[in-house]
């Protein structure tokens, strides 16, 4: 495991080159370029805001703003996973011709999405500032939340991208699971809506805790529960380690299956 | 005595070949329910023993599917051996068979940066080598064009120029020279000889016996995953021609 991280560090130039490629490939020939990463979640916000304030009246204060704060981290999770699952497969030409730590490929995809997310957060911060809602000292929680989410996504991405090479249905399955999982994370609702009996389950959902944390810190002006946050960190690290172990078990057969 | 660069002992490689691979869930489930196992083991390399020394040029010859490329990929640490041991000292060049390893949507330069990075060169270091690669490949402004617009010959020029100019300890060439024109081929030969004199080891897979006999000190003939004959170029090539003729 430690050797693995060392190995990735050794290939940091490759990671950098893949990042540059990732950004170029993503926004080549598109006029609005990097703003698409903000416009996409914004469209979702508008749709949900319309439904839940005009049609079904949901009782959450400043609902459109709340949505903005939860949909951005959800989009990070969602698009990072969807983009990375096919990444090793799509780079088969490298994988079959040279030896290097394969996990760098999905990792680069996750980092491209991370950078997008951070840019989105900056835009959001500007919006919040002009609305007179910040910056506050609670914003210091943000790097911590981003870090937990990054660890969680990285682990899953590394594992899924390897499995996809062997099992091509994963792509479709993942799409469905993500669509379902969206409703198990407090994006369009807050945790207060969840009945007491079920709320314990959210304790075992690291992403739910993270997204709730963003909402608390950015808009509700509340301090995230430190026990929950710590549990989320622990779970994310465990998932990351488990995914890396599983990845290591199949990594050597990946070039043969491409 | 020259230093050992590659030592291969009792190496065997078995591929699990899945006929009609059940890449989809439906098929996998079907196979599972019918208790059908359409997996077959394919012995790609069998009990290979090979030692290669520094600045030696070794040719690998053999019919198609005799295990040449598999052996190169194991030396490059892309495939893991199923059993046996392999020890490689030094940096191995990417084995770009006909430049198929390039990213087609990217320009020549962008591909050079990517492969340079895979090889472990920093952006700066590769940047310094680009004029050299540009001059050697004679591709000129084509380096700024996406790879999909390259011909086979041009891709090969890029692949060889890259591999030869990043100073690998071991250079792998997999049937790459076949599509080059005569003048570029001569240039490649000259470059290879020059690199050899500085201590680089060469492993060349080719079906062109003229190439092999001009470049290689030693030739290994593979057949069905086994080393059939190994020795000085003239001897092995004679045997190879006889063998292929009898088929």
Of B28, B78, B114, the CB nearest to A17: B114
Helix intervals (H) in chain A: 2-10, 12-27, 36-50, 63-85, 87-90, 92-95, 104-130, 142-166, 170-181, 196-202, 206-215, 226-250, 254-257
Residue B241, in any domain of the structure: yes
Chain A nearest CA to B239, separation (Å): 31
Q: Tell me whether residues A93 and B102 touch, CB distance under 8 A.
A: yes
Structure tokens at B139: 């591709």
Average pLDDT over residues A6-14: 85
Residue A93's pLDDT is 83
Query: With 70 as the cut, is the pLDDT of residue B23 above it?
Result: no
Q: Tell me whether residues B118 and A14 touch, CB distance under 8 A.
A: yes
For residue range A207-242, list pLDDT tens digits in order.
999 999 999 999 999 999 999 999 999 999 999 999
Task: Indicate if the alpha-carbon torsion angle B87, B93, B98, B102 is positive or negative.
Answer: positive
Of B73, B77, B121, the CB nearest to A13: B121
Residues in CB range of A35: below 8 A, 6 or more apart: none
Which residues does chain A have within 8 Å of residue B95's beta carbon, measured at their own beta carbons? 97-98
Whether A6 has its CB under 8 Å from any CB of chain B: the answer is no
Residue B180, in any domain of the structure: yes
Residue B242, in any domain of the structure: yes
Q: Tell me whether residues B120 and A11 touch, CB distance under 8 A.
A: yes
Whether A16 has its CB under 8 Å from any CB of chain B: the answer is yes
Residue B194, in any domain of the structure: yes
ipTM of the complex, rounded to two decimals = 0.83
The CATH number of residue B192's host domain is 3.40.50.300
CA B3 from centroid of its chain's CA atoms:
22
Residue A253: closest CA among chain B residues belongs to which residue? B79
Whether B124 has its CB under 8 Å from any CB of chain A: the answer is no
For residue range A76-89, list pLDDT tens digits in order.
999 999 999 999 99
Residue B88, in any domain of the structure: yes
For residue range B63-116, list pLDDT tens digits in order.
988 999 899 999 999 999 999 999 999 888 877 665 667 888 888 998 898 888
What's chain B's length in residues?
A: 247
Q: Tell me whether residues B118 and A255 touch, CB distance under 8 A.
A: no
Residue B7, in any domain of the structure: no
Query: Is residue B223 reached through a cis peptide bond, with omega within 30 degrees of 0 on the bond before it?
Result: no
Which residues does chain B have within 8 Å of residue A94's beta carbon, measured at their own beta carbons? 101, 103, 114, 118
Identify the domain containing residue B72 by its residue range. Answer: 54-246
What is the residue-averaged pLDDT of chain A? Answer: 91
| Domain boundary assignment for chain A | 33-257
Residue A161 to residue A183: CA distance in whole angstroms: 24
Can you state the angle between helices B182-197 and B152-165, rounded to 10 degrees?
10
- Domain count across chain B: 1
Beta-carbon count within 10 A of A237 CB: 15
Query: With 70 as the cut, is the pLDDT of residue A184 above it?
Result: yes
Give the H or E element holding residue B16.
strand B4-18
Query: With 90 as the cut, is the pLDDT of residue A109 above it?
Result: yes
Residue B4, in any domain of the structure: no
Read off φ and ψ for residue A6, nearest 5 degrees.
Answer: -60, -45
Burial class (CB in 10 A: 0-12, 13-18, 19+), B154: buried
Residue B98's pLDDT is 58
Chain A nearest CA to B242, separation (Å): 32
Residue A25's pLDDT is 77
């Amino acid at each position: 495991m430690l050797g693995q991280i060392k190995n990735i560090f050794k290939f940091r130039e490759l990671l950098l080159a893949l990042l540059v490629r990732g950004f170029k490939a993503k926004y080549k020939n598109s006029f609005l370029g990097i703003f698409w990463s903000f416009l996409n979640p914004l469209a979702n916000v508008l749709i949900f805001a319309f439904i839940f304030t005009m049609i079904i009246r949901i009782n959450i204060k400043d609902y459109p703003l709340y949505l903005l704060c939860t949909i951005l981290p959800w989009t990070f999770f969602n698009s990072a996973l969807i983009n990375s699952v096919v990444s090793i497969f799509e780079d088969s030409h490298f994988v079959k011709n040279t030896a290097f730590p394969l996990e760098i490929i999905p990792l680069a995809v996750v980092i491209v999405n991370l950078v997008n997310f951070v840019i989105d957060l900056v835009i959001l911060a500007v919006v919040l500032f002009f609305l007179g809602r910040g910056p506050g000292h609670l914003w210091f929680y943000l790097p911590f939340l981003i870090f937990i989410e990054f660890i969680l996504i990285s682990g899953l991405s590394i594992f899924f991208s390897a499995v996809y090479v062997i099992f091509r249905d994963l792509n479709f399955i993942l799409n469905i699971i993500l669509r379902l999982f969206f409703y198990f994370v407090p994006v369009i609702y807050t945790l207060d809506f969840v009945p007491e009996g079920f709320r314990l389950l959210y304790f075992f959902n690291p992403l739910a805790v993270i997204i709730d944390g963003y909402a608390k810190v950015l808009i509700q002006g509340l301090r995230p529960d430190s026990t929950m946050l710590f549990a989320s960190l622990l779970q994310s690290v465990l998932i990351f380690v488990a995914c890396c172990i599983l990845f290591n078990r199949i990594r050597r057969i990946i070039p043969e299956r491409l | 005595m020259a230093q050992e660069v590659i030592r291969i002992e009792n190496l065997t490689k078995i591929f699990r070949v899945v006929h009609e691979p059940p890449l989809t869930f439906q098929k996998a489930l079907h196979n599972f329910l019918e208790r059908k196992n359409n997996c077959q083991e394919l012995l790609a390399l069998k009990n290979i023993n090979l030692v290669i020394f520094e600045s030696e040029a070794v040719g690998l010859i053999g019919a198609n599917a005799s295990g040449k490329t598999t052996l190169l990929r194991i030396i490059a640490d892309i495939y893991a051996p199923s059993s046996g041991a392999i020890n490689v000292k030094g940096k191995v060049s990417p084995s770009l068979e006909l430049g198929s390893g390039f990213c087609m949507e990217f320009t020549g330069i962008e591909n050079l940066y990517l492969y340079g990075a895979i090889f472990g060169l920093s952006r700066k270091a590769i940047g310094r080598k680009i004029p050299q690669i540009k001059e050697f490949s004679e591709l000129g402004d084509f380096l700024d064009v996406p790879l999909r617009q390259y011909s086979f010959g041009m891709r090969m020029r890029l692949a060889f120029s890259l591999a030869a100019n990043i100073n690998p300890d071991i250079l792998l060439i997999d049937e790459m020279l076949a599509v080059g024109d005569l003048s570029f081929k001569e240039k490649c030969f000259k470059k290879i000889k020059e690199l050899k004199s500085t201590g680089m080891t060469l492993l060349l897979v080719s079906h062109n016996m003229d190439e092999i006999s001009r470049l290689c000190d030693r030739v290994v003939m593979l057949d069905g995953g086994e080393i059939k004959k190994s020795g000085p170029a003239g001897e092995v090539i004679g045997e190879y021609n006889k063998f292929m003729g009898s088929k």
